[in-house]
Amino acid sequence: MSRLRKAAAGLLAAGVLTLSGCFGFGNTDGMTKNPLYEYDYTKMHLVQLEEPAEGQPTAVIETTLGTLTAVLYPEYAPNTVQNFIDRANEGFYDGQDIYNVIDKSIFMTGAADSNKNSGRTPDGQPIPNEYSVDLWPFKGALCSFSGYTGCGDSRFMVLNSRELTEEQINDLRSFKNENDEKLLPDTLIDSFVEKGVIIDFSAAYTVFGQTIDGFDVIEKICATEVSGTLSVPTTPVYVNKITIGEYHKA
C-alpha cells in the first residue's frame, strides 16, 4: 500500500481526531499554516446551504447503486473543478470503481491506476488544494482526495456524515484562535449539526461540489459491506458515467 493510501485510510477510519482536546482540524500536509486560522469568518457565505444559481455547473453521477446530482463551485475551486469537468467530459470516470467506502462516511473513486495511487491532471502535476471559508465538508460535499500532500487530482470523495456528540459540539463552540478568541461562528456550528458534516475534513481538502439530489444514494453506497484494511466493497460498485450540465430552477 502506498504512503498516500495508508495516510488516507488512517485519517478516514479514525473518525474525529484530537487537537486542542477535540478535533483534527485543518490541512493535513503538515507544511502550511492551518487555513482555519486565516479565514475571515465575518465574510463567510455558506453557499452550499442555498439554492444554486441559475446556470451553475452540475455533475450527474450515475452509479450502479443509483444517481446523484451535485452543483460545482468553479468560482471557489477553479482548478479542481476544471480538472473534474475535463475528466468527466473525456469519459475518464466512466466505469470507474468506487474503491474505498470508509467508516460508512466516505466513498472514493477516480484513480488513474489499478493500485489507486494516482489520479489524472492535465499536465500530470498535482493540483494544490483550494480552500475557502465559504465551503465546508457538509454531508453530500464532493472533496478532492489529497492524502497528506495538500494537493489533489482526479480522485475525489463524496461525503456522508458523522454524528457530533454534545461534548464535541461544546468543544467546537469553545474552540479558540491564537488570540484566545472564539474561532468558529455559531451559525457555522449550527449548520454542521443541522446538515451533517465530517468535521475533521474542515480546511483539509478542497470542497468543490455539493450534492443537491440523491442523498439516499450516498447513504446506500456508504452502507455497502467492505473488507480489508482499505475498506474495499465486497460487491463491486461502479460509476457508470458523469455528465456535466447546468442548474436550472424547476
Q: What is the pLDDT of residue 94?
A: 98
Res 14: pLDDT: 35
Residues 54 and 51: their CA atoms lie apart, in Å, by 9
| Cα distance between residue 162 and residue 113, in whole Å | 30
pLDDT (tens place) for every residue of the chain, 250 residues total: 433 344 344 433 333 333 333 345 555 454 446 789 899 999 999 999 999 999 999 999 999 999 999 999 999 999 999 999 999 999 999 999 999 999 999 999 999 999 898 999 999 999 999 999 999 999 999 999 987 678 999 999 999 999 999 999 999 999 888 889 999 999 999 999 999 999 989 999 999 999 999 999 999 999 999 998 889 999 999 999 999 999 999 8
DSSP of 124-160, one letter per residue? Answer: SPPEEP---TT---BTTEEEE--TTTTEE-S-EEEE-
Report the C-alpha gap between 223 and 215 in whole angstroms.
12
CA distance 72 to 183: 27
Q: Which domains does the chain have, with CATH numbers?
A: 3-246 (2.40.100.10)
pTM reported for the whole predicted model: 0.88
pLDDT of residue 26: 52
Across the chain, mean pLDDT equals 88
pLDDT value for 9:
40
pLDDT of 33? 60
pLDDT value of position 130: 96
φ and ψ at 93, to 5 degrees?
-85, -10
Determine the pLDDT at residue 25. Answer: 55
d(CA 106, CA 39): 26
Q: What is the C-alpha separation between 125 and 42, in angstroms, rounded?
A: 34
- Note the pLDDT of residue 236: 96
